[in-house]
Amino acid sequence: MEFNVVATYTPTGDQPEAIEKIVESVLEDKNEGTTLLGVTGSGKTFTIANAIAKIDRPTLVISHNKTLAAQLYGEFKSFFPDNAVEFFVSYYDYYQPEAYLPASDTYIEKDLSINSQIEQLRLKTVTTLLSGRKDVVVVSSVSCIYGCGNPEDFRATAIRLKVGDRHQRNELLRRFVDALYTRTEMELKPSTFRVRGDSIEIMASFGEFGDIGFKILFFDNEIESIYSFDAKTGMKQNTLDEVTIYPCNLFVSTRDKINRAISQIQEDLIKQVEYFEKMERPVEAQRIKQRVEYDLEMISELGYCSGIENYSRYLDGRAPGSRPFCLLDFFPEDRLVVIDESHVTVPQVRGMFGGDRSRKENLVDYGFRLPAALDNRPLKFDEFEKLTPFKVFVSATPAEYEIECSNGVIVEQLIRPTHIIDPAIIIRPTENQIDDIVDRINGVIKRGERAIITTISKSSAEEVSRYLDRIGIKNSYIHCDIETIDRIKILEDLREGRIDVIVGVNLLREGIDLPEVSLVMILDADKDGFLRNVRSLTQIIGRAARHKAGEAVLYTDIMNKTIAEVIRQSMHRRAKQIEYNYEHNHMPRSAKKSSGEQNSILADIDAISEEKGLNSPKKPLCDTAQGDMANLMCESHGAENTMLAAEEMAAYSTTNIDNNTEERRDTLTQNIDKLIAEMRAKMDAAAKSLDFQNAAKFRDEMYELQKIRDKAK
């Protein structure tokens, strides 16, 4: 099946030209990659979707974090409703990797919480790729470069059942167990099966079929019929001629390979024990012997163990030092790889190997893991390059690597659907800069707009903020010392007009997208470095690019090369945008007010959110932990304390509790425990819905409540 883009609009502006250039570059295979330089709000995702449809190859889209990956997944899902759009990110809601700190002799055991819905989406991704479909788009985080099992073993472990086939029932049940399904006599859930007389009922390991189970009816050893049924009601739905049951885990292997792996692990264990004994390290020798023997027993009996990925080299039959299998191995050879926000994603891919290696070397050196654990790792960057012979980079500020791969050929997309031109750049001297800033802010406030000020240090940001406070300008500062939940609240205050100015250091990290902001002011613009290079300045200036009257003021006494290059690039973009608007008689219009809502990922996300209260209307007191806490205080202290709702959470300390009344303290503690449980439930629900921004918000609120509870005790 071919790709089919469904949208209520067609490519406009310079989108058609960008689409044709990308398609031509991919099909002619001239370079290692091509770069789409698209300004903020120019419809880069729509351009890539149209290019994918014309290129007509299975495509992997890589994003640098889960939240952006979820947004991209929602967008591609809407553009390709008739095609397979899959989602592949890390399935951990929480992950504490195994580690050992020699300096303090501290072993940190692996602790994790797996999101079952994301795990099912991951399994669905690989099964779709192995099905042979070509119309597949997979949106992934950098999780795609981590080990995920041998695709040949995954395919070999799949169980294909067809009406008329003959199977020994016990042998078939054993195959289900080898595919990591669990037998049950109770409720049928994903990844379980049960036996009822001459029939076997099984529920697939991933969510493609929802609550659908499959019933296989036997006559003697022959499959007489197969049909699907609703696992909740037991009602028959469709009669099938055949069905394929895929494994429950990406790390599966055949029984022959498991037996060979056990022998190899035993041999390496003997060598490692002898090594430690020779080095006169009996503690490490005993430690590695005890841990590996336990894992071997689990693998021998069950086919898996906790941390089985550390033995993946043996199970895959790979040579020492060889790269692990990853998601890219499930794609056909003619795959297309799109790297979104490449100026961030590429360095992230490049750095994954080093961080993983340094942690595992300690585990191996001190007898917690065999040396083979080092081969369970993310790809090295050169390995990633070999697996992605052609890449499409998407960024507003591409780095040198992307330009080099594209041989300097950049596909520009500078025209916005809103027809807004890039913000005007104004250069002002540093003398009397604070007076100039105040004058400009007052003008912005009169027009009902917002402003951003960036500095190069936390102390200067706080100092500027305190000065604005003294002269009566509503503002707040924001930097890395501000908790995540507080950052979100500050941004919401700016959107709602409760403050008019944000002062920050590196606002790029906050992912700010604010159509309300018409003015960006950059202090110390001439201080070359990470915060003031061409990419950083361009990104900061872009924060005003969604307002039709956007301006950026750079305070500097020196016109250095960096500022000159930023101005040159801005003038180039503005010239093209103005020319296009003049030729087509377009007038710029400001973008719509920004929203914090995430795109839907799962089909039932709205129902989940409504059930858990994630989409409920904002309440003055109870929408956040602050409001809930205020209500608790009112409950505990009576009506005379109702004004506490307007205070900051920091004001609620143990001094607010009547220390002479143990009953009140106990009541308050119980109420806080209820709120903590509620926040945890909301956090889990948001994570399952892939709304990671709200999940982080609820997590931080839960931590704040725990601190208050501890103080109250």
Q: Which residue has the higher pLDDT, 40 or 465?
A: 465
Q: Is the pLDDT of residue 583 over 80?
A: yes
**Residue 643 has what DSSP assignment?**
G
Length of the chain: 713
pLDDT tens-digit map of 103-118:
898 998 888 777 777 8
Q: How far apart are CA 357 and CA 371, in angstroms?
A: 11
Q: How far apart are CA 288 and CA 276, in angstroms?
A: 9
- Encode burial over 505-533: b for 16+ CB neighbours within 10 A, e otherwise: bbbbebebbbbbbbbbbbbbbbeeeebbe
- pLDDT at residue 495 in the model: 83
Q: Is the pLDDT of residue 371 over 90?
A: yes
Mean pLDDT of the chain: 82
- pLDDT at residue 212 in the model: 79
Residue 563 CB coordination number (10 Å): 21
Question: pTM of the entire structure?
Answer: 0.73
Q: Which residue has the higher pLDDT, 302 or 25?
A: 25
Residues in contact with 129: Cβ distance below 8 Å, sequence separation at least 6, in sequence order: 58, 86, 136, 138, 330, 331
Query: How far is residue 244 from each of residues 127, 141, 291, measured CA to CA in Å?
Result: 10, 28, 37
Q: Which residue has the higher pLDDT, 10 or 672?
A: 10
Q: Is the pLDDT of residue 349 over 50?
A: yes
Chain CA centroid to CA 320, Å: 31
Two tokens at 402? 């992307």
- pLDDT at residue 3 in the model: 92
- pLDDT at residue 197 in the model: 86
Mean pLDDT of 661-686: 72
Q: How far apart are CA 35 and CA 33, in angstroms?
A: 7
Mean pLDDT of 545-549: 86
Mean pLDDT of 221-242: 87
Query: Residue holding tokens 């050196």?
Result: 365
Mean pLDDT of 610-627: 36
Classify 211 as helix, strand or coil: coil
∠ at Cα 77 (58, 154), nearest 5°? 45
In 231-362, DSSP assigns E strands to 236-240, 242-245, 336-340
- pLDDT at residue 508 in the model: 52
- pLDDT at residue 605 in the model: 36
Classify 623 as helix, strand or coil: coil
- pLDDT at residue 626 in the model: 35
For residue 390, which phi and psi values (nearest 5 degrees)? -135, 130
Q: How far apart are CA 453 and CA 630, in angstroms?
A: 33
Mean pLDDT of 174-197: 87
Given a contact cutoff of 8 angstroms between Cβ atoms, the answer to whether 137 and 84 are in contact is yes
Mean pLDDT of 393-411: 88
pLDDT tens-digit map of 512-544:
567 889 999 999 998 888 888 888 898 888 888
Q: Which residue has the higher pLDDT, 269 or 151?
A: 269
- Give the confidence band of 646 by pLDDT, cuts at 50, 70, 90: very low
Query: Residue holding tokens 């790889």?
Result: 337
∠ at Cα 569 (566, 572), nearest 5°? 150
Two tokens at 173? 């049940």
- pLDDT at residue 489 in the model: 79
Query: Residue holding tokens 């049940």?
Result: 173
Domains (range + CATH), the chain: 15-56 (no CATH), 159-245 (3.30.2060.10), 424-584 (3.40.50.300), 605-712 (no CATH)
Mean pLDDT of 682-690: 78
Two tokens at 97? 């990797």
- Supply the DSSP string of 95-146, one letter for each residue: EE--EEETTTTEEE--EEEE-HHHHHHHHHHHHHHHTT-S-EEEEE-GGGGS
pLDDT tens-digit map of 305-317:
888 888 989 988 8
- pLDDT at residue 597 in the model: 37
**What is the percentage of the chain residues whose pLDDT exceeds 70?**
86
Mean pLDDT of 582-604: 59
